């Protein structure tokens, strides 16, 4: 997907980009390639692939229409190189974005990136999701929490739902539809005070690739003992 195709495809789903925003995506790609030579951020660096599989893919979260608004507070857990939060922030400048990642090198990259792109209201924290979720300053404070990660949904639910305010949402970005994973996560979702709402099936333009947004709403407060100590959700997932 070339930059001009990226712009045209986003217009089809109601996301209009200015010249300045297009320049921000171009600089993002440039810095991603440059930093990727020093630290491992992504296996995808070729321009057309980055625009499709990182930038467009991230902005697809905005298609969760009942969930995503332009001026909400969003927390991205384990953002890595900034996906999905930074492409969304460029497209929707009024978003307030908080990123938590366990690797300080990635936070350093994101700090330099946010400065270069002149993005305001981007807050970066070097922390484990488990300890961040127990921090009273952040717990149950976000309208939307998201993760574009490889962890299974039951693990992500324990890491993300404690950060969601009541009636807010947790949306997991998944590469493939997985009824089995949703079924497996039902106990964890309920224990964290969440309720499964829907799975939105989307297509990456010009490919056979599917993307799925798993939408979970926070209905009750999360019990204080969650998330458990760092490493425990992975080692002893709730099933």
pLDDT at 121: 97
The CA R_g of the chain, rounded to the nearest whole Å, is 17
Q: Tell me whether residue 106 is annotated as binding.
A: no
pLDDT at 28: 98
Residue 62 DSSP label: G
| Integer angstrom CA distances of residue 225 from 34, 40, 131, 207, 232 | 41, 34, 11, 43, 12
What is the number of other CB atoms lying within 10 angstroms of the CB of residue 38?
A: 10
Q: Tell me whether residue 133 is annotated as binding.
A: no
CA 53 to chain CA mean position, Å: 14
pLDDT at 149: 75
User: SS3 of 198, please?
Assistant: strand
What is the number of other CB atoms lying within 10 angstroms of the CB of residue 171?
A: 25
Q: How confident is the model at residue 184 (pLDDT cuts 50, 70, 90)?
A: very high
What percent of the chain has a predicted confidence (pLDDT) above 70? 100
- Measured at the alpha carbon of residue 86, what is the angle toward residues 80 and 88, in degrees to the nearest 5? 130
Q: Tell me whether residue 199 is annotated as binding.
A: no
Half-sphere exposure of 149 (CA within 13 A, CB side): 22
Q: How confident is the model at residue 150 (pLDDT cuts 50, 70, 90)?
A: confident
pLDDT at 179: 86
pLDDT at 176: 79
Q: Tell me whether residue 148 is annotated as binding.
A: yes
177 has pLDDT over 80: no
- Measured at the alpha carbon of residue 52, what is the angle toward residues 96 and 15, in degrees to the nearest 5? 50
User: SS3 of 209, please?
Assistant: coil
CA 116 to chain CA mean position, Å: 21
Distance (Å, rounded) from C-alpha 165 to C-alpha 7?
33
pLDDT at 142: 98
Q: Rounded mean pLDDT of the chain?
A: 96
236 has pLDDT over 90: yes
Reference 80, options 25, 148, 163, 33; nearest CA is 148
212 has pLDDT over 80: yes
Q: Tell me whether residue 168 is annotated as binding.
A: no
pLDDT at 117: 98
pLDDT at 194: 98
Q: How confident is the model at residue 115 (pLDDT cuts 50, 70, 90)?
A: very high
Reference 170, options 232, 227, 102, 107; nearest CA is 227
208 has pLDDT over 90: no
CA 33 to chain CA mean position, Å: 20
Q: How confident is the model at residue 178 (pLDDT cuts 50, 70, 90)?
A: confident
Structure tokens at 104: 């300080």
Contact between residue 42 and residue 54 where contact means Cβ atoms under 8 Å apart: yes
Summarize pLDDT for 74-95 with one digit per residue, the tens. 999 998 999 999 999 999 999 9
What is the number of other CB atoms lying within 10 angstroms of the CB of residue 84?
A: 23
Average pLDDT for residues 145-169, to the nearest whole number? 95
Domain 61-235, architecture per CATH? 3-Layer(aba) Sandwich (3.40)
Summarize pLDDT for 14-35 with one digit per residue, the tens. 999 999 999 999 999 999 999 9
Burial environment of residue 62 by CB neighbours within 10 A (0 to 12, 13 to 18, 19 or more): buried
β-partners of residue 142 are 164
């Amino acid at each position: 997907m070339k930059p001009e195709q990226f712009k045209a495809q986003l217009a089809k789903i109601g996301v209009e980009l200015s010249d300045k925003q297009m320049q921000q995506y171009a600089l993002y790609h440039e810095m991603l390639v440059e930093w990727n030579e020093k630290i491992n951020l992504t296996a995808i660096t070729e321009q057309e692939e980055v625009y499709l599989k990182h930038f467009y893919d991230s902005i697809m979260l905005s298609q969760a229409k009942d969930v995503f608004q332009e001026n909400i507070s969003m927390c991205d857990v384990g953002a890595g190189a900034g996906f999905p939060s930074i492409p969304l922030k460029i497209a929707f400048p009024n978003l307030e974005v908080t990123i938590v990642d366990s690797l300080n090198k990635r936070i350093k990259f994101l700090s330099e990136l946010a400065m270069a792109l002149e993005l305001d209201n981007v807050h970066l924290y070097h922390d484990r999701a488990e300890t961040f979720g127990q921090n009273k300053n952040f717990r149950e404070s976000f309208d939307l929490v998201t993760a574009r990660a490889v962890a299974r949904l039951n693990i992500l639910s324990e890491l993300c739902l404690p950060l969601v305010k009541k009636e807010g949402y947790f949306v997991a970005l998944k590469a493939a539809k997985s009824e089995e994973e949703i079924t497996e996560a039902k106990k964890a979702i309920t224990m964290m005070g969440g309720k499964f709402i829907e799975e939105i099936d989307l297509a990456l333009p010009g490919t056979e690739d599917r993307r799925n947004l798993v939408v979970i709403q926070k209905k009750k407060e999360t019990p204080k003992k969650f998330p458990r100590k760092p490493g425990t959700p992975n080692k002893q997932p709730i099933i």
